[in-house]
Amino acid sequence: MNPRDSSSSSPSDRRLSALARHLSSPSAAGVGGGVSRSLASSSSFARGDSVFSHVARAPEDPILGVTVAFNKDPSPVKLNLGVGAYRTEEGKPLVLNVVRQAEQQLINDRARVKEYLPIVGLVEFNKLSAKLIFGADSPAILENRVTTVQCLSGTGSLRVGGEFLARHYHQHTIYIPKPTWGNHPKVFTLAGLSVKYYRYYDPATRGLDFQGLLEDLGSAPLGAVVLLHACAHNPTGVDPTIQQWEQIRQLIRSRRQLPFFDSAYQGFASGSLDADAQSIRSFVADGGECLVAQSYAKNMGLYGERVGALSIVCRTADVAGRVESQLKLVIRPMYSNPPIHGASIVAAILRDREMYNEWTIELKAMADRIISMRHQLFDALRARGTPGDWSHIIKQIGMFTFTGLNSQQVAFMTKEYHIYMTSDGRISMAGLSSKTVPHLADAIHAAVARAV
Amino acid sequence: MAAAVRAGVSGRILGRGSAVGARSMSSWWRSVEPAPKDPILGVTEAFLADPSPDKVNVGVGAYRDDNGKPVVLECVREAERRVAGNQNMEYLPMGGSVKMVEETLKLAYGEDSEFIKDKRIAAVQALSGTGACRLFADFQKRFSPDSQIYIPVPTWANHHNIWRDAHVPQRTYHYYHPESKGLDFAALMDDVKNAPNGSFFLLHACAHNPTGVDPSEDQWREISYQIKVKGHFPFFDMAYQGFASGDPERDAKAIRIFLEDGHAIGIAQSYAKNMGLYGQRVGCLSVLCEDEKQAIAVKSQLQQLARPMYSNPPVHGALVVSTILGDPELKSLWLKEVKVMADRIIGMRTALRENLEKFGSPLSWKHITEQIGMFCYSGMTPEQVDQLTKEYHIYLTRNGRISMAGVTTGNVGYLANAINEVTKSS
């Protein structure tokens, strides 16, 4: 190899002589820090070379961190009341029978392919999901005023809805209840909205701070976006009564605020799909507009398949069509089109009368088991004479109970009784069984009794 | 009538005749414009709506067999049989399936990669290639907020959308040379040299979409060298590993060159085409870091971006991938099936070119066999494309991009004749 002037040497020659220059010079131009090792060796970029050296480690997710700690604990009596996934009496995850059936159907159908779904997702799934949440006879559906797009479970539906609002709605603030699911503020902030809170939970009553809610929404700007948990509020389990919902609806409509419902527990809260959708349906019945994020994670046990839908109820079919076209522009640069598997399972179940009925039975069984755990825990605390009013345990609804325990009490229960829960005192009722209720009751009793 | 009654009733409940109810409220979305149709996916919609028996879809980039049918790989069917009924559907961690990610990194970085051994790669499961690119773009915006991304001209249209929605300023670099229907190497190198130090460059690892024009190995080495000199960040979009040449190792060559040269790279990987898992949305985003500690930090931050987007990625597709790649027999079957797909496409390139030459086209069509991967940049103008669609019911994107996967022994003659007819006078 005879290095001639660079314009006529081969590319390899030029490259090798440049590499040689790098090796001999301690401060190679344009490369930070100097390359002291051979470029030919693979582990050759020096400290300070990465453009991401300044990236700090993010804090652990508080909810998922609970499970991490639980897994590390060797105690045989440990109890995981952290993450909100349903567990059976035996403490095992559950895949519904209808889901297994649907899975088999999909496998056995050799004609099925894995092509891309449209950007809006599986069309049949979208239609069935809208009927499920709004009611098959909903005027909004009959009038074609609803656009429904498949999204990645509740999270994805909230994010896509939030991004749409940030682009097309005149108000860029969303009011969310205090407290709310920890991921809500992050979802909406990254979507481009700013987040404000309205009062919701009253620690004194362990119930709804209804006055505070009305005041805060009453003083929120006209036209503000308002996030509402359709049922089974997460993390408190505290829901408005039907009468309170009616007042909330009137207030929101009178202030032309835009409701954005998060429906993650339809059917899972009371055991009745229709009852759990009543708040949403009353808003749709008044003819106004709203957004709804639907999740099948809990009520169909499809957690990891990420199945959900975003619906936007509009005034007219024409508007709904235009809105849908803009939703596609949000989705395409995010993930192009949604995953097919989970949506296919849901569609198979919802479209088949027998499977649908079987699903409602399995769903009610899950809801009933949770309600039973509530009663058992309440009875156990009463039997122990644990100080305080524990009726909120049976008044709250859904997967979670906001016990009212403080973080010291929680830490005590973790240390002495190996009970894992989030430090805000939230317990997942789904993690309890008849066998473990006594242990939890003992722990709560000890934690409360020792307090001074 | 019912709506008016309802409106009247709710008006009475609120009193003060306030603005509730169907009649008096207007839509918040009155001023929402109808969005333009996605240019690529719109082609398939139009194709489906066409009743002509002669219609040909060489638009969207999904593989078809020689009968024009979509294919589910046998290794995938087998994996699904094994998976169904055996797994629960619990949430994956935010970073996705650890097993799937491990196997995926081996494909890109090499089975025995020391980067994998040294745990220097921050990697998360992503929603196919799109999701991986978007996650990286969001990460780039958050942690290199002053940076910009250089995108080749042309590129997959959605690349522009992705970095735009991530609010990262974009610039372009020369890539395709229309006159030669090949790579505009000199201009590309100039753009790399002239970009401010530390710019981010989007590179197609193999089978460039939409042109099918890839740099040669020598050219990749020069690009790598120049990028190193300038301290640029190379981000690879690898959507066709195995699908381009039939050999995944060969298709990863550009990436391996950059790794040898000591770049800290990022990679978006997709299983949409090479495993035919399109609708399952399975992919992976990886970022090579200085050391294990940094990789842990970067991964944790990627997860922080995924959590408010979809919380955790879908499990089914990941299970299929890890079942296949984790079983030597299934993996070997997969490699065979990938080669079959790649070979069919290479065969169709040859057939299309030969047919055009046979029809006596006055133009040169050697670029058809020189380009690689699913797409061929035919060189046709939008007007010629429109003519193809209108007169011959042939559907492709208006940039003249032909999806070779849509070409079959059954339609290649018809296609060649049509292309010849619309181009012979140009």
CA dihedral A154, A56, A173, B22 (to 10 degrees): -20
Answer yes or no: is pLDDT of B60 > 60.
yes
Q: Which pLDDT value is given to residue B27? A: 66
H helices of B195-291, in order, are 217-230, 248-251, 253-260
Identify the active-site residue in A181, A245, A359, A390: A181
Nearest to A50 among B6, B158, B290 (CB): B290
Quote the Cα angle for B219-B220-B222, to 5°.
65
Burial of residue B223 (CB within 10 Å: 0-12, 13-18, 19+) is: buried
Lowest mean pLDDT among A238-242, B87-91, B122-126, B402-406: B87-91
Mean pLDDT, chain A, rounded, equals 89
Report the share of chain B in percent with pLDDT over 70: 93
Q: What is the pLDDT of residue B329?
A: 97
Q: Which residues of A touch B38 (CB under 8 A)?
A: 119, 328, 332
Roughly what angle, to the nearest 10 degrees, separates helices B315-325 and B328-358?
100
Q: What DSSP letter does each residue of A367-398 carry, written as one string? A: HHHHHHHHHHHHHHHHHHT-SS--THHHHS-S
Over residues B132-191, the pLDDT tens digits come to: 999 999 999 999 999 999 999 999 989 999 999 999 999 999 999 999 999 999 999 999
Q: Which among B28, B88, B279 is the nearest to A114, CB-wise?
A: B279
Q: What is the pLDDT of residue B282?
A: 97
Q: Which residue from A minimizes the CA distance to B305?
A: A190
DSSP string, B150-214: EEEES--HHHHHHHHHTT--EEEEE-EETTTTEE-HHHHHHHHHHSPTT-EEEEESSS-TTT---
Mean pLDDT, range A38-47, rounded to an integer = 41
Quote the minimal CA–CA distance from B221 to chain A in Å: 8
Average pLDDT estimate for A384-406: 94
Q: Please state the pTM of the whole predicted model.
A: 0.89
Q: What is the DSSP letter of B147?
A: -
Here the tokens at position B172 are: 């372009």
Task: Specify whether the CB–CB gap between B81 and A106 falls below 8 A.
Answer: no
pLDDT band at A196 (very low <50, low <70, confident <90, very high): very high
Q: What number is the average pLDDT over the span B344-366?
A: 96
B44: nearest CA partner in chain A: A118
DSSP for A119-146 reads TT--HHHHHHHHHHHH-TT-HHHHTT-E
For chain B, the maximum distance between any two Cα atoms, rounded to a whole number of angstroms, is 81
Residue-wise pLDDT for A340-370, tens only, equals 999 999 999 999 999 999 999 999 999 999 9
Smallest CA–CA distance, residue A407 to chain B, in Å, is 25
ipTM over 0.90: no
- Whether the predicted pLDDT of B32 surpasses 90: no
d(CA B309, CA A407): 29
- Cα(B425)–Cα(B419) distance, integer angstroms: 11
Average pLDDT over residues B24-28: 57
pLDDT at A37: 35
Q: Is B262 part of the contact surface with chain A (CB cutoff 8 Å)?
A: yes
Q: Is the dihedral of CA A264, A270, A272, A278 positive or negative?
A: negative
- The whole-number pLDDT of residue A14 equals 55
State the pLDDT confidence band at A450, using cuts at 50, 70 and 90: confident
Task: Name the strands in the sheet holding A194-199, side by side, starting at the edge strand that comes first in the sequence.
Answer: A146-152, A307-313, A290-295, A258-263, A225-229, A173-178, A194-199
- Cβ-nearest to B38 among A287, A316, A332: A332
- Helix A317-335 and helix B128-143: axis angle, to 10°? 80
Chain B residues within 8 A of A195 when measuring between CB atoms:
none
* Whole-number pLDDT of residue A394: 95
Confidence grade of residue A43 (pLDDT, cut at 50, 70, 90): very low
B369/chain A closest Cα distance in angstroms: 25
Q: Give me the sign of the Cα torsion angle B407, B411, B415, B416.
A: positive
Task: Answer whether residue B8 shows pLDDT above 60.
Answer: no
Q: What percent of chain B has pLDDT over 90?
A: 85
The tens digit of pLDDT for each residue in A255-292 reads 999 999 999 999 999 999 999 999 999 999 999 999 99
Q: Per-residue pLDDT for A22 more than 80?
A: no
**Which tens digits make up the pLDDT trace of A134-172?**
999 999 999 999 999 999 999 999 999 999 999 999 999
Inter-chain touch B228–A31, beta carbons under 8 Å: yes
B20 pLDDT more than 90:
no
pLDDT tens for each residue of A52-91? 778 888 887 777 778 888 989 999 999 999 878 999 999 8
